[in-house]
Amino acid sequence: MAVKDLQLPPLLHSRSSSQFVSNDDSNRGLQRHIANKMSRARLIKTKEREASSYVLSEPAEVTFQKPREKRNYGSEYQCLGPDGIFMSCRSLAKPRFLEQLECLLKRELEALDNTHSSKVQELRLQVYQEVFGYLIEEFKTYKPILSAIKKEYDITLAHLRDQIRDLLPLRAKLVLVSEQSDKKILEMRIQERDEVQALKHECRHLQSIIESMRSQQSALQIQVDHLKEDLATQYQLYRDERDARKLLITRISTMQSTQDTKHDDDNEEDESEDPVVVKMALEVCREDLTKAQVELNRLQAEYSDVVPRRDWDNLNHMHEEILMKLETLQADFNQMKSEYDTLLEVHQKSAPATQQHGSDNQHIVTTPRPNWEQCSDILGGTERCKELFEGQSSQKKLEILLKEISSQNQFFTGHGISCDIPIYLRYEGKVKNLKLKKADVIKVIKEIWRNKMAENEKNDDPRDLQTFLHSYLVEQYKDKAGEWAYSLMESIQNNLEDDLICLFNDVLTGKVDESIYHGQTQLLSHLLKVLIQSDITQCGTLTVSEFSEALRKAFPLKSDQDIEELLAAAQTELKSSGVRISYQTLYTEDTDGRHKEFLSLVKKQATAERLQYISELRAQLEGKGEVDAEQLWVAFKTIDPSLEPENLEWNLSVAFQTKESALQAQALEKEVVLQRLSVAHVKRAGPKG
């Protein structure tokens, strides 16, 4: 029977206190009944959360009473609640209309065909919709709200069906994309496997080549060893042959002289002497001569380095005389030092009294003397200034200064414009002398180096210092570039005792490579960076232990003695033996712009380490007249295994005066190579770590 043809009986009235009325006249009582029922249901739910033993399965009226024993009154009974209060519960019978709907729902669901699993859910939903429709038609009072609820659910289900319908093609597309991605991954894995196989094959091929070259090298080494042995044997034979020839010549000469002497002495003897006796005497003489020659060779070999007794006695006598003179001079020096200390102590005691006396009489006791060292720039340097002013009075010094000033040339004579003249000095005619001071020269040199370093960073192939100096002077001073060039060179020649000026002059004249200056700058910058990193408090000072540890971190190759020298120099320069060292003060310059004792010692130690490095390289190349790039590479790797490839290539390019990528197998003289390396910034690689 179809669901639509089903005739449902009218609702039956239950015997409970709350009754449903089917007509419209009883709507008010029904609404009050539903409200009371909802409030009772909320109360029951609240009690259900607290209760653990009993849960009501049907709606019921609940009344609260005092705890008492359970009693049965027909269909009404009492039960104990979670808070100890008995509740009165009354069971309700299930309505007939509800039973008919449940039977209909159960029958229709059992009649569905479960073979098509894809449509079962839609059919079940349709059954529930029809049953819900009957329910709406029966409860006319709630029909609007229930219809609205059903409509919203239908709209939502329709929307969800549309979304599912739109997503089905995307699912197929997703499967297709997944298959394509798997296929591409498989192809890439196959290609990668082929590449790996090719690389492995190439690696095995290269290993076989290396093994063959090693075997070839071993064979060549064996041949070299055999040739050395043959050469030593041949040399021994030649030496024996030479000694034999010398002995033979000596014997012949001795025999001739003996025969002549005997012939002169025995003119009266009988010439018919027995030849057998003469032959025996000759053999005895030859044996004696051989023994004498052997003994002479032994004495020469054993006593070749022995000093004669006469020379030893003379040297010993001279040594004793020098020791006696030294002791005498030391005694005189100690006596003079004690007298000087005594005079100094007396002077220190009398100086305060003299100053107090002068202040009382309101006049100056001593006459202030001028600082004649300030005239060193005019007189051509500190050394020449000391030479001119030594032992002279103030009046005489003033006369010498005026004479030197008046005798100085106001103009230079240009050297010409030939190719053998440096480009920055190619001028003709008279050039004005600007008479630059030492401070001005140092300032200009620092500015030149600053611009030169900026150009080196921008260009891969920078210009040499001479060309750059010419372009710098022309750009800065234009028409006065010649005046600055000649004045600058004169001041440089007059102040070569300054380290910065001397290094600039050596680089400009080609005595040393430009990398020396850049290496010193990088060295000092690296040290300052390490000191700043060690200053955790950022107060500008470090303790002695922290300063020493920072020096070891910055210079890991230095010995403990070098570190102690640097620490002592820093304390001496700061005139402080306290527990903290102001490392920022060590980087200040004096009035002439020069570094002080500590930084000068750092650069001095770096120069000594570079020369020691070159000495080890010279010892490694001992016995070789000419050196090629491969031999020099092996020598560097032998004395410095941790040397990085780029630094090694740069060392080779400096040694052979060519670019790193253009090194050839040509050989150069060993001394030429070592000379080029000694004037460049070649340093030992630090420990890796």
pLDDT in tens, 635-655: 888 888 888 888 888 888 888
**How much is the pLDDT for 110?**
82
Lowest mean pLDDT among 131-145, 215-229, 367-381, 616-630: 367-381
Name the least confident of 292-296, 307-311, 397-401, 420-424: 397-401
pLDDT value for 187: 93
The span from the CA of 636 to the CA of 374, in Å, is: 49
Lowest mean pLDDT among 462-471, 499-508, 660-669: 660-669
Highest average pLDDT, of 302-316, 351-365, 460-474, comes from: 460-474
Q: Which pLDDT belongs to residue 9?
A: 42
For range 8-16, the mean pLDDT: 38
Q: Amino acid identity, residue 644? A: E
- Residue 6 has what pLDDT? 42
pLDDT at 140: 85
Most confident of 267-281, 389-403, 595-609: 595-609
Q: According to the model, what pLDDT value does residue 8 have?
A: 43
How does residue 273 score in pLDDT terms, banded at 50, 70 and 90? low
User: Is residue 147 over pLDDT 90?
Assistant: no
Cβ pair 602, 522 in contact under 8 A: no
In terms of average pLDDT, the best of 61-70, 88-97, 568-577 is: 568-577
Stretch 357-364: mean pLDDT, rounded? 43
Confidence of residue 202 (pLDDT cuts 50, 70, 90): very high
Lowest mean pLDDT among 350-354, 363-367, 664-668: 363-367
pLDDT of residue 106: 83
The predicted structure's pLDDT at residue 210: 94
Mean pLDDT of 435-454: 86
As a whole number of Å, the CA-based R_g of the chain is: 58
User: Which pLDDT score is estimated for 119?
Assistant: 67
- Residue 437 confidence (pLDDT) above 70: yes
Helix axes 481-494, 499-509, angle to 10 degrees: 120
User: Which of 92-106, 167-181, 383-397, 518-532 shows the lowest mean pLDDT across its residues?
Assistant: 383-397
The answer to whether the beta carbons of residues 438 and 385 sit under 8 Å apart is no
pLDDT confidence of 478, banded at 50, 70, 90? Answer: confident
Mean pLDDT value across residues 184-209: 92
Average pLDDT of the chain is: 75
Distances (CA, A) of 680 to 405, 504, 651, 676, 683: 40, 14, 9, 7, 9
575: confidence class by pLDDT, cuts 50, 70, 90: confident
Residue 206 banded pLDDT, cuts 50, 70, 90? very high
Q: What is the pLDDT of residues 601-631, one digit of tens each?
A: 888 888 888 888 888 888 888 888 888 888 8
Which of the four pLDDT bands, split at 50, 70 and 90, describes residue 65?
very low
pTM attached to this predicted model: 0.44
CA 389 to centroid of chain Cα atoms: 53
The pLDDT value given to residue 41: 43
Alpha-carbon distance 289 to 641, whole Å? 57
Give the whole-angstrom CA distance, residue 627 versus residue 668: 5
Distance CA 638, CA 632 (A): 10
Query: Using CA atoms, how far apart are residues 213 and 66, in angstroms rounded to an integer?
Result: 110
Q: What are the tens digits of pLDDT across the range 183-193?
A: 999 999 999 99
Categorize the per-residue pLDDT at 50 as very low, low, confident or very high, splitting at 50, 70 and 90. very low
CA 170/CA 285 separation, integer angstroms: 123
In sequence order, what DSSP letters do the residues of 414-426 get, joined into one string?
P-BS-TTS-GGG-
φ and ψ at 266, to 5 degrees?
-115, 45
Checking if the pLDDT of 586 tops 90, the result is: no
pLDDT at 469 over 60: yes
| Residue that wins the pLDDT comparison between 83 and 669 | 669
What gap in Å lies between CA 656 and CA 631, rounded to an integer?
12
Do the Cβ atoms of 415 and 407 come closer than 8 Å?
no
Q: Check residue 60 and give its pLDDT.
A: 35
